[in-house]
Amino acid sequence: MCPLPFLAAAVAASRTPLRLLGRGLAAMSAARRLKSVDYEVFGRVQGVCFRMYTEDEARKIGVVGWVKNTSKGTVTGQVQGPEDKVNSMMSWLSKVGSPSSRIDRTNFSNEKIISQLDYSNFSIRY
């Protein structure tokens, strides 16, 4: 492993004011926090490939968890991962969905910071 990138980073860091470094470290630690949230999506979300698109988007964003249809015509699931990525997925579940879907509302619950992930991938449950 070449030590030059580390040396360059150390030199650059030594020239950066400490107040800027402090903000950067705070932002980095927030991005590394793991978050978990449960969700339920209401609207026209069954029969429109919503679960498939959700699985695909979750894998693109880099979060883990699951998604499934409910007997009451909604889609429910859980998302876990770095806080910023979970927030991106929450936005997608609220505003985008699959091309043929219509999202009326999305309820989020049990939103919390976790110490480790409960899943190793994102899957569709039946």
Catalytic residues: 51, 69
Q: Which residue is listed with tokens 């249809």?
A: 69
**Main-chain dihedrals φ then ψ at residue 39, nearest 5 degrees:** -145, 155
Q: What does the DSSP assignment read for 76-113? A: EEEEEEEHHHHHHHHHHHHHT--TT-EEEEEEEEEEEE
d(CA 59, CA 36): 16
Residue 39, H or E segment: strand 34-44
d(CA 65, CA 47): 21
